[in-house]
Structure formats: C-alpha cells, structure tokens
Amino acid sequence: MELDEALRKAADLIVNASSVVAFTGAGISVESGIPDFRSSGGLWSKYDPEVYCNYSVFKQKPELFWKMAVDMQSTMAEAQPNPAHYALAELESMGYLKHVITQNVDNLHQRAGSNKVRELHGNGSTASCMVCRSKVPISEAMDQLNSGKSVPVCSRCGGVLRMDAILFGEPLQSSVMEGSLRLAMFAEVMLVIGTSLVVSPANSLVQLCKSNQGTIVICDPSPANSHLAHVMLRGNAGEVLPRLVQACKALRTKGKAQM
C-alpha cells in the first residue's frame, strides 16, 4: 500500500473509531535529537543501556548511571517536541485521540500539549531519594554532578538520588500498567509509533489490543514490526503524523459538507 493510501485508510479508521490510543517509543523523539536504543552509532553504543540503565547495577554502582546522565544532559536539555508530538496533541484536541501511552521518559508529549499521557517508564525530569523518597527537579541532581560529585544525594537525609525513570529489571508502577492495559483492551484503534516492541511488558499492549479486535496502525521507518500492522505508515513520525492529522481534517470537512 502506498503511503498516501495508507494515510487515508488510517485517517478513516481514526475518525470513525470510538476509542483511539497512541502507543509511543523512543523513535518518536529521534527527530527531537534524542537517540533511540536500536539505531546504530551514537550514545547507546558508548553506554550499553542493559548495563548503564539496569536497576541491579544502579543499586551497586549508581555512579555508572549518573556518568551516562552527565554525558546526556545537553542532549536531553536541548530537546524540543517535534511535529510528531504536536500532531498527537492536535489529534487529542480534535477529540480523536483518547490517550497517549508512552515508553519515553523525556516529557516531550506533555510539552507539546498532550494532556492525557500515561508514562509506563516514568519521567526523567525529576529525581527521588532512595531512602526518604523526597523528589527534586533533575537539575538539582545535575548541579551536584557538575560540581564534581559522582553520585547526587538528598539534601534532607543524604540518601542516594535516582532519576524517576524505570530502569531495566525494575517493575513498572502497577497502577500505570493496569490503566494502560485497560486502554489497550478497549481501543478500537491503536496508533503505534517509533517502538521496536522488544521491551517487555510494554510490548504486550499491542498484542492485547489486537486480540480484542483492535486495529493496529504502525508508524515507523523500519519494516521490522510491519507484520503486526493492519495499516503500515512507513516513514519518520515527524513527517508522517502531521500528514495523518491533515488527512483526518480532510475527512472531517468532507463529512460536514455531506450533512
């Protein structure tokens, strides 16, 4: 199916569905300058996430995680939402998109104006004390690291600070996961964007939606998951999703003209 035809098909599904959810991964933020895990080169070849973002490793050697965070701070601080994030916010404000479920921790959906965002893997813009749980902006941890500390600590009790992002090997927050499972189960259409679907249990959401008769629309430049898609929007999300919004608008206008 050509992209134009696939876009028309996806827009038709979205405009006519009673419940549409988006499920996003690192790929949606690649055009904002944050590298994903699977693409070759760059940051993740220097810092293997299975080691540097691993919870057991963090508990033994928190300085490894924080070393990586220092190296990444300019990338994260400079990242701005891209047209794909804005397109999802627009679909929500048009009344078509019920929720965004994201695996990302970069806060870019919220900054683009999405109001209903479920973060499966937490949010990297804050850090919490491992002992007393008090929460601080991530900038406070970064300030300590930039002034020479290898591990930032809590100003109240001296406990080690951790970023509020879920690490590999750490359980997800059950309320967030349960809410997401419900959304996936009842979604008529799931728009899956920029995720390799290799991270569990997040990847089970797509399967759950599909086995409950949901229609899966995937936007990704890689064909790796295309076998799961009823409609494949092959390309970069920052280019494809604004076109999807236009296609939804065109259908809406056509619908009104026929009334």
Ligand X SMILES: NC(=O)c1ccc[n+]([C@@H]2O[C@H](COP(=O)([O-])OP(=O)(O)OC[C@H]3O[C@@H](n4cnc5c(N)ncnc54)[C@H](O)[C@@H]3O)[C@@H](O)[C@H]2O)c1
Catalytic annotation, residues: 121
**Distance in angstroms (rounded) separating the CA atoms of residues 181 and 229:** 19
Beta-bridge mates of residue 163: 127
User: Other C-beta atoms within 10 Å of 72: how many?
Assistant: 16
**Distance in angstroms (rounded) separating the CA atoms of residues 114 and 95:** 12
Pick the closer one to ligand X by CB: 19 or 196: 196
Q: Which residues contact 222 (CB under 8 A, 6 or more apart)?
A: 196
Q: Is 159 in the site for Zn ion (CB under 5 A)?
A: yes
**Shortest gap between Cβ of 39 and ligand X (angstroms)?**
6
Q: Is 161 in the site for Zn ion (CB under 5 A)?
A: no
Out of 10, 30, 89, 129, point to the residue binding Zn ion (CB under 5 A): 129
26 binds, among ligand X, Zn ion, none (CB under 5 to 8 A by kind): ligand X
Among residues 11, 8, 25, 14, the alpha carbon closest in space to that of 188 is found at 14
Count residues near Zn ion (CB under 5 A): 7
Query: Footprint of ligand X on this chain (CB under 6 A)?
Result: 25-31, 34, 36-38, 103-106, 121, 193-196, 198-199, 219-222, 224, 236-238
Using DSSP's 3-state secondary structure scheme, residue 120 falls into: coil
Q: Is 156 in the site for Zn ion (CB under 5 A)?
A: yes
Among residues 189, 190, 214, 221, the alpha carbon closest in space to that of 3 is found at 221
Pick the closer one to Zn ion by CB: 151 or 250: 151
Pick the closer one to Zn ion by CB: 129 or 248: 129
Q: Which stretch binds Zn ion (CB under 5 A): 10-18, 127-135, 183-191, 206-214?
A: 127-135
Out of 120, 145, 154, 245, point to the residue binding Zn ion (CB under 5 A): 154
Among residues 13, 5, 77, 39, the alpha carbon closest in space to that of 236 is found at 39
